[in-house]
Amino acid sequence: MAYQELVQEILQEVGGKENILGLTHCITRLRFNLKDESKANTEKLKKTKGVVTVVQGGGQYQVVIGNHVPEVYQEFVDYAGLSGGETKVKEEKKGPLDTFIDIISGIFTPVLGLLAATGMIKGLNVLFVSLGWISNTSGTYAILQAAGDCFFYFFPIFLGYTAAKKFGLKPFIGMAIGASLVYPALAGLTQGVEPLYTLFAGTIIESPVYVTFLGIPVILMSYSSSVIPIVISTFFGAKLEKFVTKIMPSVLRSFLVPFLTVLIMVPLTFIVIGPIATWVGNILGAFVLAIYTFNPIIAGVAVGAVWQVLVMFGLHWGIIPIAINNIGVLGYDPVMVLGQSTAFATAGAVLAVIIKSRNNSVRAIGIPAFISSLFGVSEPSLYGITLPRKKPFIATLISASVGGLIMGIFGTKSYIMGGMGIFSLPNYINPETGIGSGFYGYVIAIIVAFVLSFVLTMTFFYDPAEDREEAKNAEEVPDAVAVQNKQLMTEIEFDLPVNGKVIPLSEIQDTAFSQGLLGKGIAVQPSEGKVYAPFDGTVEVLFPTNHAIGLKSIDGVEVLVHVGMDTVNLEGKYFQAEVSQGDSIKKGDLLLTFDPQEIQEAGFATETPIVVTNTRDYLEVLGEVAEKRIKIIN
């Protein structure tokens, strides 16, 4: 495991597995949903080797890693024992903005890489035609167009999958709803025939009706490349599936739940959700276009100036679906492009820092960050170079706003969601008219942003003496740390919270416990169905199913008591909580009761791991079988 040490450190500093509600990743960041962000050691995490920085925003705890984040993410999921990067702990409520950003990022993050890749193919195809290398009637063009356009054309199917996972619907049901929206036979129903009648005649939403469903008029629209209809349909589909599952006998759930969910949601989507969502999308596109048309130059300056700030806090996720919707509705997007000179402005500032700095550590970070920025990923540069030095960051904002101004003047628009950085050039070629003023405006804008940012940083916006002073101070730190760390070892002991036969943790069937991934400790085969408080402290976590409880002693020891193996599947049956989450406890207090015999008859083992989840905070944690206790050496 190439990133094992980094993964171990991150897991510890975010508060352990029990503090993780969910985990995804984007191009450069691990995006955690934490139960309690105050439990994360942010300052220590920022100083961890391999971590660029930590950003808290958009309802997420974001650990910036760099371009190799997919490998770190996979190792983290494997090491921490996360299933698909998520746990089953109930999530606390967020504010409306945080909730919106979390939903949007959760739906779109998994598909952005493929969306960019296929967009690049489509953009290159347009470029080849514009240069006269191939004809748009050739077989070469047709095959490349199929490779490039397939993802965007069938976008509702892919979003059906990711939205279903986000909302808790079975993913294949989400895909089925999405597939129905782009089902080819439905599009043919409107070809060469007169409508039965017209709804809302004379209004902005005038709609011809060609078919009905059980006598109810169906407004057929083009849902290929659409975003909003499938997201809303999947949201309601998840609610419907939960309701049907709840009332359906378990023996019938495997086929009747998806049967009823699809049977109800597909007609409902075509009759109600699809038309309304499409109208909303059209209005949203028209509104954005109206703002841009009002004064594209002012829009360019504003978007260019704030784009890096939006990225810092993850708020750009709110703009990405609008841009995708605009391309689907209008055929182009004029807004998000205005901030796309930011990566080049950042690259210019970083290059200036590399040239002026005499600090080898700055150059070691700056050179790969500079290359990354040229390819459109500016976050390593942002968090590693420009933002810590403040003035180069300001230089990038000024330069990006000038780049946005230039694109506003030239009327630059993006026609596909394709590559980033230097690979983004084909995005701005009009597929109908070829290379035009908008494309040239983009080229001029990114060159000006790069050069201006470089010049500003080289002249007024960076003093290399700051880095030399920082390097000098860093050399003095080890001696101070060494003195600070000279402490006498202490021991903490506590008796086990469950009575019964004590067994080594290594004999537990679940590898997450037996291999110590959740912490060191011991296990018990219960002789009675009771869990007692092993020390004075608080109830930090009480799982909704009452099968596990997390405790914290007054001196900071964090303990997880997990009754049985896979008993979460009992959904609370045979368990009773005697305390609530957040309660203060005294040694010997009764915390949980359970029925070992019923649990075993239901087919579940009752062996109960007791682990110290913050094991890494101590020199050693020992599960003493003979003494029936856990000893911690601090």
pLDDT of residue 271: 93
Residues ≥6 apart with Cβ < 8 Å to 71: 2, 3
Q: Are residues 67 and 18 in the same domain?
A: yes
Rounded Cα–Cα distance for residues 540 and 558 (Å): 9
pLDDT bracket for residue 468 (50, 70, 90): low
* 418/540 same-domain check: no
Residue 569: partners with Cβ closer than 8 Å, 6 or more residues away = 604
Same domain membership, residue 496 and residue 468: no
pLDDT tens figures, 62-76: 888 876 788 888 888
Length of the chain: 634
Confidence band for 174, pLDDT divided at 50, 70 and 90: very high
How would you classify the pairing of strands 207-209 and 197-199? antiparallel
Same domain, 467 and 586: no
pLDDT tens figures, 345-386? 999 999 999 998 877 777 777 888 888 788 887 777 887 788
d(CA 220, CA 496): 65
One domain, residues 168 and 50:
no
The enclosing domain of 65 has a CATH number of 3.30.1360.60
Q: How many domains does the chain have?
A: 4
- Which residue has better confidence, 106 or 532? 532
Where is the domain boundary, 57, 92, 127? 92
Q: Average pLDDT of 214-238?
A: 88
Coil, helix or strand at residue 127: helix
CA–CA distance from 365 to each of 66, 80, 283 (Å)? 11, 28, 45
Q: In what helix (H) or strand (E) does residue 633 lie, and over which residues does it extend?
A: strand 629-633
**Does residue 502 carry a pLDDT above 60?**
yes
Instruction: Identify whether 403 is part of a domain.
Output: yes
Q: Does residue 529 surpass a pLDDT of 90?
A: yes
pLDDT over 70 for what percent of the chain?
A: 90
Structural domain ending residue among the three candidates 286, 317, 346:
286
Residues 262 and 308 in one domain: no
- 34: enclosing H helix or E strand: strand 29-34
Main-chain phi, psi angles of 239, to 5 degrees: -65, -45
Rounded Cα distance between 69 and 400, Å, is: 26
pLDDT at 624 over 90: no
For residue 51, is pLDDT > 50?
Answer: yes
pLDDT by residue (tens digit) across 242-275? 999 989 887 888 889 999 999 999 999 999 998 8
Query: Which residue, chain included where needed, has tokens 């690049």?
Result: 120
Catalytic (active-site) positions: 26, 562
- 86 lies in which domain range? 4-92
CATH code for the domain in which residue 559 is found: 2.70.70.10
Residue 457 has pLDDT above 50, yes or no: yes
Tell whether the model's pLDDT for residue 84 goes beyond 60.
no
Lowest-pLDDT range of 72-86, 297-311, 394-408: 72-86
**pLDDT at residue 484, rounded to an integer:** 43
Q: Are 562 and 531 in contact (CB under 8 A)?
A: no
Phi, psi of 286 (to 5 degrees): -65, -35
Picking from 247, 240, 265, 85, the residue whose alpha carbon sits closest to that of residue 169 is 240
Residue that the structure tokens 């000179």 belong to: 341
Average of per-residue pLDDT across 442-462: 94
- Is the pLDDT confidence value at 58 over 70? no
Q: Which amino acid is at 272?
A: V
CB of 196 closer than 8 Å to CB of 218: no
Q: Which of 236, 262, 286 is the last residue of a domain?
A: 286
Axis crossing angle, helix 320-330 with helix 96-130, rounded to the nearest 10:
50
Radius of gyration of the chain (CA): 29
Listed range (41-55, 314-328, 506-520, 576-590) with the worst mean pLDDT: 314-328
Q: What percent of the chain has a predicted confidence (pLDDT) above 90?
A: 31
The reply to whether 570 falls in a domain is: yes
pLDDT(481) > 80: no
Query: Is residue 404 helix, strand or coil?
Result: helix
Question: Residue 486's pLDDT is what?
Answer: 40
225 vs 534: CA distance, rounded Å: 58
| Position 455 pLDDT exceeds 70 | yes
Whether residues 270 and 124 share a domain: the answer is yes
| One domain, residues 502 and 603 | yes
Asked if residue 281 and residue 326 are part of one domain, the reply reads no
* pLDDT of the residue at 90: 43
Full-model pTM: 0.54
Q: What is the pLDDT of residue 477?
A: 42
Residue 188: inside a domain: no
- Whether 279 is in a domain gets the answer yes
Spatial distance between the Cα atoms of 55 and 422, rounded to a whole number of angstroms = 27
| One domain, residues 259 and 317 | no
Average pLDDT, the chain: 84
- pLDDT at 97 (0 to 100): 63
Same domain flag for 461 and 313: yes
20 in any annotated domain: yes
* Of 300, 292, 295, 289, nearest in space to 407 by CA: 300
In a domain, 277, yes or no: yes
Quick one: 355 and 429 in the same domain? yes
- Residue 185, domain member (yes or no): no
Residue 205 lies in a domain: no
What phi, psi does 237 have (nearest 5°)? Answer: -60, -40
Q: Give the list of residues 6+ apart from residue 510 with CB closer than 8 angstroms, or none.
A: 565, 566, 609
Q: Among 203-217, 465-479, 596-610, which is the least confidently predicted range?
A: 465-479
Mean pLDDT of 185-191: 79
Whether the predicted pLDDT of 85 surpasses 80: no
